[in-house]
Amino acid sequence: MTHPSDATLALYAGQDLGFLARWRTERHLAACDRCRQEVETYSDLRADLPELMDFPDTGWGRLAAEMKANIRLGLAAGECVGSLQPEEPRRVPLFSTRALVACASIIALLSAGVLLERPIPQPKAGEGITLEATANGIQLKGGGQSLSLLHGGASPNANAVTFSVSAQGSMRARYVDSDTGYVTINNVYAQ
Amino acid sequence: MRSSVWFRLAILPVAGMAGLLAQEMPLDPQSSFNINLPSDAPVALRSANLGESRATARGSAMVVDLHMALSLQNTSNKRIAGITLLVTAQEFVPGGRGSVATPSLSVAPGATFPVRIDLRLLRPAQMTGGPLVNVTLDGVLFQDLSFYGPNRLDSRRSLTAWEIEAQRDRQHFKSVLAATGAPGLRQEVLTSLAMQAERPRLDVAVSRGGRSVTSAGQERVERFAFLQFPDSPVAPVEGWAQIAGNEARAPRIEVRNRSTQPVKYVEIGWVVKDRSGKQFMAGSVPASDPDLYLPPGRTGRVLQDTALRFSRNGGQPVYVQAMTGFVSQVEFANGTVWVPNRRDLTNAQLLQVLAPSPEEQRLTELYRKKGLDALVAELNRF
């Protein structure tokens, strides 16, 4: 059984998961005591969180004051270098050119990542490999890949192609090439 | 408002993926295929045309359509009767390979002949390096039944069997011509064409190593009934297969060598009968042991660990009611090959079920396209 990650369980406890992830996590929790216990722990922790947020004033207060001072100093230094006109914060529209370029770049990056890094399942020889006749040839498929030998030279006559099967794990398609008049026998082996 | 933002965001990946889906490109001959013929081979490559070959990206996969028209020349001093080319795809499913054979040839020394290879590959797009498809020579059979080639696919036996069947069927048509003249030959060819059209066809899916699909019904052991040919060097003794619904698996057949020569290969033809009593040629059961050696009088087993699923008319299951077996091919230790004669096949009423030999298919097709005179001229060439 594959367990959800700690992050997923924590998000579930806070009701922050999306619909699909929540549904999958609920299904898992229904059958897994260990993860259910983890979720309860996260829920308890959430309940205690407001108390934990009450940090002692001394340390944080000093730190905040230090930061404010540094910011003030930075602003003052800026004024010395050149007059600064305070600007109203600009509202960046969601679909500005920059946002679109950024989104497109992220999507391109993700797509390239999926294309390049997707693991290729490599089945063992003979396992899960099926051989069958299709409308235009013999197809060997397995592990998300396929190899087909096509009878492109056969006449469109329904009886033009004769298939035969060997229990050894191979299939033949035989036809008379309509251009050359020669018999062509395609054989695909699954062994 | 919020949903419209999400809708707009959703458009972006869809548009991106649509762009990826539509990529199509012609194939570069240098990187697409490699044809490797040994320097001492009796054939030489004269030309190779890639025609309409192309590669199309479909998401993270690549569909490669390869259409190769090869022109080969007979560089030996003997007539070529058949050739087999081995086709392998780079980094494809382990064990997967194909071959293209052209039997029933009569290519004189120095003459050229065409071989066509049409192939489609579906593979992950990120595979790179090396040609997509390798084509090598597996064997050449000459008209005197001598052979050249590495024979990795047992092409010697296949090509020899096809050539012996071709000689048998040419002789049959020649005998009919001699005995009954052109009208009799026409009648014989029309009968063959009618049988080819009416032959019940079965769709068979093969998967190795156990059951291929979840079949309806409980599995049972079904015994073979056997057809005995008087002149067959090997006799089937008993056999059975596991049957579940429209699926048969693990056929096992015991055979006895009743000839005076040792046998190294036996193939059993497998006919199944459905619940309505209709018979279909299901396939063949070859000997699985490449080192089979059956001395005269000895008994051996022909067995395969394969599952066959039967259907017809676009997927309608064919439930196996009974099975019949017959010896369809024997190879002796000295390399000679036996196939049943036409009289035995006719007597056993197998011609209605069996596919015609490659030569009978070629000759009847020649008649269909070019008429009786062309057929008679072709028969007289041999």
Set of chain B residues whose Cβ sits within 8 Å of the Cβ of A190? 95-96, 206-208
The answer to whether the CB atoms of A149 and B103 lie below 8 A apart is no
What is the per-residue pLDDT for A120? 42
pLDDT (tens digit per residue) in B346-368: 877 787 788 899 999 999 999 99
CA max distance for chain A: 97
Cα–Cα distance, B315 to B298 (Å, whole number)? 42
Look at residue A49 and tell me whether its pLDDT is greater than 70: no
The phi, psi pair for A94, rounded to 5°, reads -60, -40
Query: Least CA distance to B114: which residue of chain A?
Result: A180
Taking the Cβ of residue B100 and every Cβ of chain A, the question of whether any pair is shorter than 8 Å is answered with yes
Q: Which residue has the tokens 């458009």?
A: B11
A 10 A CB-CB count for B18 gives: 9
Look at residue B182 and tell me whether its pLDDT is greater than 90: yes
On whether the CB atoms of residues B287 and B267 are closer than 8 A, the answer is yes
Confidence class of residue A39 from pLDDT cuts 50, 70 and 90? confident
The answer to whether the CB atoms of B87 and A149 lie below 8 A apart is yes
More confident residue, B55 or A150: A150
Look at residue B210 and tell me whether its pLDDT is greater than 60: no
Distance from CA of A70 to the nearest CA of B (A): 39
Look at residue A189 and tell me whether its pLDDT is greater than 90: no
Look at residue B176 and tell me whether its pLDDT is greater than 80: yes
The answer to whether the CB atoms of B98 and A186 lie below 8 A apart is yes
Torsion region of B91: left, alpha or beta (phi above 0 gives left; psi -120 to 50 gives alpha): left
Taking the Cβ of residue B85 and every Cβ of chain A, the question of whether any pair is shorter than 8 Å is answered with no
Set of chain A residues whose Cβ sits within 8 Å of the Cβ of B95? 125-126, 129, 189-191
Length of chain B: 382
Look at residue B128 and tell me whether its pLDDT is greater than 80: no
The answer to whether the CB atoms of B96 and A169 lie below 8 A apart is no
Cα–Cα distance, B7 to B12 (Å, whole number)? 9
The answer to whether the CB atoms of B101 and A146 lie below 8 A apart is no
Lowest mean pLDDT among B7-21, B42-56, B158-172: B7-21
The torsion angle over the Cα atoms of residues B181, B184, B189 and B193, rounded to 10 degrees, is 170
Look at residue A160 and tell me whether its pLDDT is greater than 60: yes
**Residues B263-278: what's their mean pLDDT?**
91
On whether the CB atoms of residues A123 and A129 are closer than 8 A, the answer is yes
**Identity of the residue in B60, B204, B209 whose CB atom sits nearest the CB atom of A126:** B209
pLDDT (tens digit per residue) in B43-98: 999 998 887 788 787 777 778 888 889 999 999 999 999 999 998 876 655 556 89
Mutate which of B12, B92, B118, B159 to test chain A, going by most A C-beta atoms within 10 A? B118
The answer to whether the CB atoms of B306 and A152 lie below 8 A apart is no
On whether the CB atoms of residues B57 and B125 are closer than 8 A, the answer is yes
The answer to whether the CB atoms of B116 and A152 lie below 8 A apart is yes
Distance from CA of A52 to the nearest CA of B (A): 34
Look at residue B115 and tell me whether its pLDDT is greater than 90: yes
Distance from CA of A58 to the nearest CA of B (A): 42
What is the per-residue pLDDT for B32? 72
3-state SS, residue A55: coil
More confident residue, A142 or B140: B140
**Residues B245-273: what's their mean pLDDT?**
91
What is the per-residue pLDDT for B106? 92
Confidence class of residue B17 from pLDDT cuts 50, 70 and 90? low
The answer to whether the CB atoms of A190 and B203 lie below 8 A apart is no
Set of chain A residues whose Cβ sits within 8 Å of the Cβ of B116? 152-153, 177, 179-180, 184
Look at residue B339 and tell me whether its pLDDT is greater than 90: yes
What is the per-residue pLDDT for A11? 87
Lowest mean pLDDT among A120-124, A131-135, B300-304, B359-363: A120-124
**Identity of the residue in A120, A146, A176 whose CB atom sits nearest the CB atom of B362:** A176
Set of chain B residues whose Cβ sits within 8 Å of the Cβ of A152? 67, 116, 118
**HEC secondary structure over chain B:** CHHHHHHHHHHHHHHHHHHHHCCEEECCHHHHEEEECCCCCCEEEEEEECCCCEEEEECCEEEEEEEEEEEEEECCCCCEEEEEEEEEECCCCCCCEEEEEECCCCECCCCEEEEEEEEEEEEECCCCCCCCEEEEEEEEEECCCCEECCCCCCHHHHHHHHHHHHHHHHHHHHHHHHHHHHHHHHHHHHHHHHHHHHCCCCEEEEEECCCCCCCCCCCEEEEEEECCCCCCCEEEEEEEEEEECCEEEEEEEEEEECCCCCEEEEEEEEEEECCCCCEEEEEEEECCCCCCCECCCCEEEEECCEEEEEEECCCEECCCCEEEEEEEEEEECCCCEECCCHHHHHHCCCCCCCCCCHHHHHHHHHHHHHCHHHHHHHHHCC
pTM score of the predicted model:
0.71
- Work out the percent of chain B whose per-residue pLDDT is above 70: 85
Closest CA to A145 of B309, B97, B29, B306: B97
The answer to whether the CB atoms of B153 and A127 lie below 8 A apart is no
Lowest mean pLDDT among B130-144, B146-160, B171-185, B207-221: B207-221
What is the per-residue pLDDT for A84? 47
Taking the Cβ of residue B207 and every Cβ of chain A, the question of whether any pair is shorter than 8 Å is answered with yes
What is the per-residue pLDDT for B173? 96
More confident residue, A40 or B178: B178
Strand A162-166, strand A170-176: pairing: antiparallel
The amino acid present at B115, given as its one-letter code, is: V
The answer to whether the CB atoms of B122 and A150 lie below 8 A apart is no
- From chain B residues 266-325, the ones with a CB under 8 A of any chain A CB are 270, 281-286, 288, 304, 306, 308
Taking the Cβ of residue B97 and every Cβ of chain A, the question of whether any pair is shorter than 8 Å is answered with yes
What is the per-residue pLDDT for A68? 76
Look at residue A85 and tell me whether its pLDDT is greater than 70: no
What is the per-residue pLDDT for B74? 97
**Residues B131-140: what's their mean pLDDT?**
88
What is the per-residue pLDDT for A50? 55
Query: Least CA distance to A94: which residue of chain B?
Result: B5
What is the per-residue pLDDT for A128? 64
The answer to whether the CB atoms of A185 and B96 lie below 8 A apart is no
More confident residue, B29 or A154: A154
The answer to whether the CB atoms of B96 and A116 lie below 8 A apart is no
The answer to whether the CB atoms of B93 and A182 lie below 8 A apart is no
Cα–Cα distance, A133 to B309 (Å, whole number)? 12
What is the per-residue pLDDT for B55? 79
Cα–Cα distance, B12 to A95 (Å, whole number)? 11
**Residues A56-69: what's their mean pLDDT?**
66
What is the per-residue pLDDT for B83? 97
Confidence class of residue B143 from pLDDT cuts 50, 70 and 90? very high
Confidence class of residue A5 from pLDDT cuts 50, 70 and 90? confident
- Work out the percent of chain A whose per-residue pLDDT is above 70: 70
pLDDT (tens digit per residue) in B327-336: 999 999 999 9
Cα–Cα distance, A108 to B75 (Å, whole number)? 54
Query: Least CA distance to A135: which residue of chain B?
Result: B314
Taking the Cβ of residue B177 and every Cβ of chain A, the question of whether any pair is shorter than 8 Å is answered with no
- Work out the percent of chain B whose per-residue pLDDT is above 90: 50
What is the per-residue pLDDT for B163? 96
**Residues A92-100: what's their mean pLDDT?**
68
The answer to whether the CB atoms of B93 and A142 lie below 8 A apart is yes
